Chain A
Amino acid sequence: MTNAPSLNFTPARALPVAAVLLAMAVGILLVALTGVPVGEALGAFADGAWGSPYAIGASVNRAVIFALVGTGFVLADRARLTNVGGEGQIAVGAIAATAVSLYGGVQGLPLGLAFVLPLLAGALAGAAWGALPGLLKARAGTNEVISTLMLSFIGVWLLYWSVQSERLLRQPMSNSGTLPESLEIPSTTRLPFFLGDESMPINIGLPLTVLLGLGAAWLLARSLFGLHLRSVGLNALASRQAGMPIARTVVLAMTLAGALGGLAGAIMLQGDQYALKSGFSSGYGFDGLVVGLLARGSLPGVFAGALLFGFLRSGGINMEMAASVPSALVQVVQGMIILAVAGAALWMDRHGAAR
């Protein structure tokens, strides 16, 4: 990895890409070592990631979730706050969206309110899940890494509990084989397809997420709040002397990050899974956090990383099912990508500082 002079292509952009490619190459090598024919494994990966319209749709829907959580991470990160609570925010968002879809009396509402209100409920629940660590940080200086992580576990187990108890969201038990899941949500509360139909199930979560991403970029670049975020993150003492509302900025940053996580949970439920079950999210919040981390504060970086992780995950799942490559291996490759990009970032920082 040299810092060769490049035309219109700064090493700052090239290095993470090179790092990802290197990690993938090592991943292929590992697949070969497990005895699975490399061609077969790669074929299965391609099929699962982009081999059919359905596969592409599934990959894009995953990318939407990563992009939302990653965007929230970048917003909070602008104030040097680290939101690692995406998983819990997804969980509470999904719980709220399920409850409103099934029991909120929204299914007959016109003008799309049937699916909009559950989305809003999800975002609100996530916002509360983010606001709490923000308040703790602003009032008591509690480390937000710890509090968001702990709230993540609480959120995930709340979801588990809510589908275990008939008094909460579990479907009525008709026999001993009834699974601990919620009922399927009514069709009017499901997200409409954006392009195409069931054969390529991209829902309106995609345009919504792109709009929110643009909104976040605008907020960071153009708004007073965006400047407050940067200033508070860079020097809280000077920001306080200049009269900025430090506590409000911190709480709002975490609330927005949480709202985006909660919305991601609602979109997963209403656009893809249609019923709440234990193991609903399986780590999307943590992968979204990684996407945000790897983007290093850049929103275009978040969307690029989200697409990469979305296709990687779809391909990985199919590689396991069709070619019997252990799913653990896919996660190993993902871990190597993270390390490679983080290492590349460290290298760039060191050399940037030396100059």
Chain B
Amino acid sequence: MHAAFAPAIAVAVAAASSSVEAGRLRLNNVGKRFGAMAALDGVSLDIRAGEIHCLLGENGAGKSTLCNLVFGVHAPDSGSMLLDGAPYRPRGPADALASGIAMVHQHFSLVEDASVADNLLLGQSRGLLKRREAGARIRALAAQYGLELDPDAMIADLSVGERQRVEIIKCLMREPRLLVLDEPTAVLLPDEIAALLAVCRKVADSGCGVVLVTHKLAEIRQVADRITVLRGGRTVASSTAPATDIDSLVAAMIARDPKASTMPAAPAAPRRALSSDVRDEVLQVDGLTVKDAHGALRLDNVTLIVNRHEIVGIAGVEGNGQSELAAALSGMTKPAAGRFFVNGRPLAGSAPQEITRAGVGIVPEDRHAVGCVTGLSVAENIFLNQLHKFTRRGMLDRSAMRAAARGLMQRFDVRAASEDVAFGGLSGGNQQKAVLARELTQDNLALLIAAQPTRGLDVGAVEAVYNHIRAARDRGVAVLLISSELDDLLAVADRIVVLYRGRIMGVCPAGPEQRARIGAMMAGQSHD
């Protein structure tokens, strides 16, 4: 059922407690491919009535694909699904709804300028709207599950958490047999999360199966009856006793594929004697704090230093402030408080071009949204932030730019038909190598900020990316490496800073022997 894998946890399906019924939804060896990529590779899963089943995994692990199969958005390529023992082959979300499967999506589908009651009546009424009846039913449901909600309130006036309650009631009104919640806590504040988890428990107690998709561990500890960990489209671990072994779940979730776990640990370069006028501290971050659009604290008073000749790794389960840290340091987000300096220059709140000019190279987390312009050519992307080098009196010297691009493509092994083809046609690995080529060859490069630089890349490309980053470090560049791949950080970084809920949980030297300690800090347990 799961891959042979060191930290995997014994499956204890048979030991389920007697209060839990058997097999509401069963997936047998289900697979789904998109092009050459296997999003799901033979997943088997058993979700029972009356239980909260947590589906755990990093981005790209296959959680969303699994949800989409269950909800009928996609059809599986192989394997089968059984709902209450009968074959289940939904041809669309309407089939799924008719079969009693309801889903709360990450993105809400509510009409802003209508009341809660009207939103809930949408798609459920024919002819006349029976508002009074609906209002009474909503109040009854709300009371039953402890969902505070005013049927007459306008959606536009509601907070994100309240809107989510509307979505949940929308599902409950259908009296579902199975309720799927896709990353429901990503948008919520801490006290809202607690309320949501209580609702999940009540829904499960009423006999419905609840699937909770998440990558946050704290909430799993609170509510999960059973846990399945997905990684690379496979189930790598499952457990019935969540509270006991969170650490090994973290390990299962973030560990590399066994094939790829042989990341060579290159020795740190011998430190060169630094002349006295060269600062050792390149990046100084002082009390950096970032709030999101809703005012929630995402990065909380982070202070750290990155030196020359050093790779500092930022470890943490995704969604614990890493993205916000990278966005603030690259000038894409204005910090709410705090400062940061590169070679002594204050840069908090500066525009990206000033940060680039200060000698900062940035490999953004979201390559397609921020790192490149897929409609432009490879050459144009390689010099996207250095076009001025090829400009004389406003005119672009394209042949010089193409020649320079060819040189860099060779140096960084970017494989493309030519430097003129559209960037979007390159494979992810080649795109990332091109981004690295751009960021690592800037003039006066002093600091490289790389956020999840190996996400979605194959093993060979991962190696290449880390080799380039190490080479930069050996040249004296300071590197801040943000990654959710703990094993990679342990092998590549010199020091590791662990982020948890936007705060620094601890700092420790890198090395395989630190694995357990860092894993615990990633799960929110302070060891310091």
Inter-chain contact A240/B374, CB cutoff 8 Å? no
Tell me which of B371, B387, B391 contacts A238 (CB under 8 A). B371
Hey, which chain A residues are within 8 Å of B130, CB to CB? Answer: none
> Does A314 count as interface, using CB distance less than 8 angstroms?
no
Main secondary structure of the interface of A (DSSP, over half): helix
Q: Are B372 and A238 interface neighbours, CB within 8 A?
A: yes
Which residues of B lie under 8 Å from residue A222 when comparing CB positions?
395-396, 398
Find out whether the CB atom of A241 lies under 8 angstroms from the CB atom of B351: no
> From residue B421, how far is it (CB to closest CB) to chain A in Å?
15
B41 at the interface (CB under 8 A from A): no
For A225, what are the chain B residues with a Cβ–Cβ distance below 8 Å?
Answer: 394
User: In chain B between 373 and 416, which residues have their CB closer than 8 angstroms to a CB of chain A?
Assistant: 373-376, 380, 384-385, 387-388, 391, 394-396, 398
State which of A223, A226, A234, A243 has its C-beta within 8 Å of the C-beta of B373.
Answer: A234
Q: Are A243 and B351 in contact (CB under 8 A)?
A: yes
| A241 and B375 within 8 A (CB) | no
CA distance A241 to B362 in the complex (A): 9
* Cβ of A76 to closest chain B Cβ, rounded Å: 17
Contact present for A241 and B376 (CB under 8 Å):
no
Say which size band chain B's interface belongs to. 20 to 34
B residues in contact with A230, CB < 8 Å: 373, 375-376
Q: B352 within 8 Å of A by Cβ?
A: yes
Query: Is B370 at the interface (CB under 8 A from chain A)?
Result: yes
Q: Which residues of chain A are near B4, meaning CB under 8 Å?
A: none
Which of B353, B370, B398 is within 8 Å of A243, CB to CB?
Answer: B353
Q: Which residues of chain B are within 8 angstroms of A242 by Cβ–Cβ distance?
A: 352, 356, 384-385
Interface residues of A in 216-256 (CB under 8 A from B): 222-227, 230-231, 234-235, 237-244
A89 to chain B, nearest CB (A): 24
Among residues 187 to 240 in chain A, which have CB atoms less than 8 Å away from a CB atom of chain B? 222-227, 230-231, 234-235, 237-240
- Tell me the bound Cα distance from A226 to B376 in angstroms: 12
Give the Cβ gap from A114 to chain B, nearest Cβ, in Å. 31
CA distance in complex: A239, B381 (Å): 10
Which of these, B357, B372, B380, contacts A227 with CB under 8 Å? Answer: B380
The answer to whether A227 touches B370, judged by C-beta atoms less than 8 angstroms apart, is no
B330 at the interface (CB under 8 A from A): yes
* Partner pick for A231 among B351, B362, B376, B388, CB 8 A cutoff: B376
Q: Are A227 and B351 in contact (CB-based, < 8 A)? A: no
B-chain residues with CB within 8 Å of residue A241 when the two chains form the complex: 330-332, 352, 362, 364, 370-371, 385
Shortest distance from the beta carbon of B374 to any chain A beta carbon, whole Å: 7
B387 A227 Cβ-Cβ under 8 A: yes
Write out the residue numbers on chain A whose beta carbons fall within 8 Å of the beta carbon of B385.
Answer: 241-243
Which residues of chain B are near A237, meaning CB under 8 Å?
332, 369-370
- Distance between Cα atoms of A49 and B29 in the complex (Å): 72
CB-based nearest B residue for A226: B396
Task: Report the separation of the CA atoms of residues A179 and B220 in the bound assembly, to the nearest whole angstrom.
Answer: 82
The residue of chain B having its C-beta at the shortest distance from the C-beta of A224 within the complex is B391
Q: Which residues of A contact B370 (CB under 8 A)?
A: 237-238, 241
In the bound complex, what is the Cα–Cα distance between A238 and B385 (angstroms)? 10
Pair B396/A231 contact, Cβ less than 8 Å:
no
Question: Which residues in chain A, 30-58, are within 8 Å of chain B measured between CB atoms?
Answer: none
A253 to chain B, nearest CB (A): 15
Q: Are B371 and A239 in contact (CB under 8 A)?
A: no
Q: How far is the CB of B278 from chain A (nearest CB, A)?
A: 26
A354 CB to nearest chain B CB (Å): 16
Give A244 to B352 CA distance when docked, in angstroms: 9
Q: Give the distance to chain A from B218, nearest Cβ to Cβ, in Å.
A: 31
Chain A residue contacts of B372, Cβ below 8 A:
235, 238
Contact indicator A223/B396 (Cβ below 8 Å): yes
* In contact, B396 and A238 (Cβ under 8 angstroms): no
Partner of B375, one of A223, A226, A235, A243: A235
Give the residues in chain B near A243, CB-CB below 8 Å: 351-353, 356-357, 385
Q: Contacts A240-B332, A243-B351: A227 and B396 contacting too (C-beta < 8 A)? A: yes
Q: Which of B352, B353, B362, B374 touches A235 (beta carbons < 8 Å)?
A: B374
How far apart sit A241 and B369, CA to CA, in the bound complex (Å)?
10
Measured CB to CB, the closest approach of chain A to B342, in angstroms, equals: 15
Smallest CB separation, B394 vs chain A (Å)? 5
Q: How far is the CA of A225 from the CA of B391 in the complex (A)?
A: 10
Chain A residue, CB-CB nearest to B398: A222
What A residues does B364 contact at CB under 8 A?
Answer: 241
Taking a contact as CB atoms under 8 Å apart, the answer to whether A224 and B332 are in contact is no
| Contact residues, B326-374 vs A (CB, 8 A) | 330-332, 351-353, 356-357, 362, 364, 369-374
The answer to whether A231 touches B394 (Cβ under 8 A) is no
User: Chain A: which residue is nearest B391 at the CB level?
Assistant: A224
How near does chain B come to A220, taking the closest CB pair, in angstroms? 11
Determine the residue in chain B with the shortest Cβ distance to A233.
B375
B300-344 vs A, Cβ < 8 Å mask (1 yes, 0 no): 000000000000000000000000000000111000000000000
Are A224 and B373 also in contact (CB < 8 A) when A241-B352, A242-B352 are? no
**CB closest chain-A residue, reference B375:** A234
| Residues of the A chain whose Cβ atoms lie less than 8 Å from the Cβ of B373 | 230-231, 234-235, 238-239
Q: Which residue of A lies closest to B331 (CB)?
A: A241
Task: Determine how close the nearest CB of chain B comes to the CB of A120; give it in whole angstroms.
Answer: 21
Chain B residues with Cβ below 8 Å from A227 are 376, 380, 387, 396
A234–B423 Cα distance when bound, in Å, is 12
- Chain B residue nearest in CB terms to A231: B373
- What residues on B are CB-neighbors of A234 within 8 Å? 373-376
Bound-state Cα–Cα, A223 to B391, Å: 8
Residues of A with C-beta under 8 A to B352: 240-243
Interface set, chain A 158-177, CB cutoff 8 A to B: none
Could you tell me the distance between the alpha carbons of A238 and B370 in the complex, rounded to whole angstroms?
4
**Chain B residue at minimal CB-CB distance from A219:** B394
In the complex, chain A residues whose CB is within 8 Å of the CB of B356: 242-243
Alpha-carbon distance A242/B353, docked complex (angstroms) = 7
Question: B429 to nearest A CB, angstroms?
Answer: 19
B351: A residues at CB distance < 8 A: 243
In the assembly, what is the distance between CA of A222 and CA of B375, in Å?
Answer: 17
How far is the CB of A61 from the nearest CB of chain B, in Å?
32
Contacts of B396 in A (CB 8 A): 222-224, 226-227
In the bound complex, how far is the Cα of B394 from the Cα of A226, in angstroms?
10
> Cα distance A224–B396 when bound, in Å?
5
Residues of B within 8 A of A238 (CB): 369-373, 384
Which residues of A have CB within 8 Å of B374? 234-235
CB nearest to B362 among chain A residues: A241
Of A222, A225, A227, A230, chain B has the most CB atoms within 10 Å of the CB of A227
Q: How far is the CA of A2 from the CA of B411 in the complex (A)?
A: 46
* B373: nearest chain-A partner, CB-CB: A235
B384–A231 touching, CB < 8 Å: yes
Name the CB-closest residue of A to B357.
A243
Task: Name which residue of chain A comes closest to B438, CB basis.
Answer: A242
* Neighbouring B residues of A240 by C-beta, 8 Å: 332, 352
B460-481 contact mask (Cβ, 8 Å, vs A): 1 or 0: 0000000000000000000000
Q: Which chain A residues lie closer than 8 Å to B353 at the CB level?
A: 243-244
CA distance A226 to B388 in the complex (A): 13
A330 to chain B, nearest CB (A): 38
Whether B395 pairs with A224 at a CB distance below 8 angstroms is yes
13 other contacts beyond A224-B391, A238-B371, A243-B357, with CB at 8 A cut-off?
Answer: A222-B395, A225-B394, A226-B396, A227-B376, A231-B373, A231-B380, A234-B373, A235-B374, A237-B332, A237-B370, A241-B331, A242-B352, A242-B356
Shortest Cβ-Cβ A-B pairs, 8 listed: A243-B353, A242-B385, A242-B384, A234-B375, A235-B373, A224-B391, A234-B373, A241-B370
13 CB < 8 A contacts A-B: A222-B398, A223-B395, A226-B396, A234-B376, A235-B373, A235-B375, A237-B332, A239-B373, A240-B352, A241-B352, A242-B385, A243-B352, A243-B357
Chain A interface residues (CB < 8 Å from chain B): 222-227, 230-231, 234-235, 237-244
